[in-house]
């Protein structure tokens, strides 16, 4: 859109932030622009702006492997997501929010919490929620794939819309880590950024468990590690650069240990990754003959259509196009 301060993340070096701002958007176009950008970067929500408010919003988004960190400055506004609304950039994500300035009110799962500077909370963006900021606000948002969060928290719905003070303990460590990331994470390699993102998520879930009295998602350490490995794979299937080192780093284990865990299921880390990519592609193709094969290949993390077609034929004994023409089974 003309006049948008928007550094496209595609092709940018690791560690460089995407900057989105209303500063150069005409005032009458700002609300529509903000709805579009929030829907593209975060979730599809309704945006309400108080009367006589000059809308301002700036989002600095730093990729951290399968996670992302945003520093957001905004004038007063209200964001809401009703039941039945589709159109998310990520189909499953959880947001951890650290308030830097202003007042922030969150409603989800029958709870309502009001936060001030230094407070932390989280919410599931795929379910109904309301975010109400009645004054100028600055906050940090840490976006994490839902499967990764659920591999660390037993029941996320019991942890949403809670006020988590960050004056001491694990919450203080997590908050300080988040505050340092916008500057200290600049220039990280992709692998290091993913590892740092995984560390941030571990710290945040530790802080949440301390406040909510929650427990890890599984009592067995091997089961926890295996769930994390699989969650990382699911969250980053479309990342063509994903490899065993990055998966293991984000899951917090060594490649050797990851392969030991998956050997119990008769596979290895990379074989599991490629199997899940092909299964994902098959779902996208099933009964959809108009779908572009190149788009499906890219979404499943394949660098070339030719490679995808060979791998798909070896797995399903037919070409991707032939598979797409198969009738979709009735429910």
Tens-place pLDDT, residues 170-201: 999 999 999 999 988 877 887 788 888 888 99
Closest CA to 161 of 96, 95, 106: 106
Q: What was the pLDDT predicted at 1?
A: 39
Read off the tokens for 259.
């392969």
Contact 65, 250 (CB under 8 A): yes
Residues 9 and 18: their CA atoms lie apart, in Å, by 6
CA separation for the pair 36, 42 (Å, rounded): 10
Which is more confident, 270 or 195?
270
pLDDT in the model for residue 324: 84
The span from the CA of 150 to the CA of 173, in Å, is 21
Is the pLDDT reported for residue 166 higher than 80?
yes
CA–CA distance, 291 with 284 (Å, rounded to integer):
8
Q: Quick one: pLDDT at residue 317?
A: 87
Least confident span in 202-216, 273-287, 312-326: 202-216
Q: 36-60, pLDDT tens digit by residue? A: 999 888 888 999 999 888 999 999 9
pTM value surpassing 0.75: no
What does the buried/exposed string (b/e) look like for 168-206 if buried means 16 or more CB atoms within 10 Å of the residue's CB? eebbeebbebbeebeeebeebebbbbbbbbbbbbbbbbb
Backbone angles phi, psi at 233, to 5 degrees: -60, -50
**Confidence check: pLDDT of 14 > 70:** no
Tokens encoding 21: 């701002």
User: What pLDDT does residue 5 have?
Assistant: 45
Please give the average per-residue pLDDT across 243-267, as a whole number. Answer: 87
Residue identified by tokens 């007042």 is 103
Q: Which domains does the chain have, with CATH numbers?
A: 5-212 (2.60.120.10), 221-324 (1.10.10.60)
- pLDDT tens-place string over residues 111-130: 999 999 999 999 998 889 99
Q: What is the mean pLDDT of residues 13-33?
A: 86
* Residue 90: predicted pLDDT: 44
Distance CA(168)–CA(139), nearest Å, equals 19
Higher pLDDT pick, 26 / 149:
26
Distance CA 312, CA 46 (A): 40
More reliable by pLDDT, 6 or 134: 134
For the cut 50, the answer to whether the pLDDT of residue 279 exceeds it is yes
Contact in structure between 200 and 69 (CB atoms under 8 Å): yes
Given a cut of 60, whether residue 330 has pLDDT beyond it is no
Distance (Å, rounded) from C-alpha 292 to C-alpha 311? 17
**Distance, CA of 152 to chain centre:** 15
Q: What is the pLDDT of residue 84?
A: 59
Average pLDDT over residues 65-73: 91
pLDDT score at 66: 78
**Looking at per-residue confidence, does 189 or 70 come out higher?**
70
pLDDT band for position 8 (cuts 50, 70, 90) = very low
Q: How many CB atoms lie within 10 A of CB 292?
A: 10
């Amino acid at each position: 859109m003309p006049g948008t301060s928007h550094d496209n993340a595609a092709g940018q070096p690791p560690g460089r932030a995407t900057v989105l701002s209303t500063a150069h958007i005409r005032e009458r176009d700002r609300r529509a622009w903000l709805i579009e950008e929030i829907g593209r970067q975060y979730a599809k929500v309704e945006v309400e702006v108080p009367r006589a408010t000059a809308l301002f919003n700036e989002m600095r988004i730093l990729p951290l492997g399968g996670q992302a960190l945003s520093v957001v400055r905004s004038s007063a506004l209200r964001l809401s997501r009703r039941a039945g609304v589709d159109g998310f950039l990520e189909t499953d994500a959880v947001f951890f929010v650290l308030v830097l300035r202003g007042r922030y009110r969150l409603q989800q799962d029958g709870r309502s919490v009001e936060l001030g500077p230094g407070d932390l909370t989280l919410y599931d963006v795929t379910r109904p929620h309301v975010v109400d900021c009645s004054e100028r606000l600055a906050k940090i948002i840490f976006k994490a794939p839902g499967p990764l969060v659920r591999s660390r928290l037993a029941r996320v719905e019991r942890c949403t819309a809670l006020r988590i003070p960050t004056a001491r303990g694990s919450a203080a460590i997590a908050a300080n880590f988040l505050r340092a990331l916008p500057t200290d994470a600049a220039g990280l390699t992709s692998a290091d950024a993913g590892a740092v993102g995984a560390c941030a998520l571990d710290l945040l879930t530790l802080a949440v468990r301390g406040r909510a009295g929650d427990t890890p998602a599984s009592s067995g350490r091997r089961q926890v590690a295996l769930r994390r490995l699989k969650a990382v794979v699911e969250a980053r299937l479309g990342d063509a650069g994903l490899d065993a080192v990055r998966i293991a780093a984000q899951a917090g284990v060594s490649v050797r240990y990851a392969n030991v865990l998956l050997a119990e299921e008769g596979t290895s880390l990379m074989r599991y990754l490629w199997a899940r990519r092909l299964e994902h592609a098959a779902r996208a193709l099933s009964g959809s003959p108009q779908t572009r094969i190149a788009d499906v290949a890219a979404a499943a993390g394949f660098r070339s259509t030719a490679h995808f077609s060979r791998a798909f034929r070896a797995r399903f004994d037919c070409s991707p196009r032939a598979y797409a023409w198969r009738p979709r089974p009735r429910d």
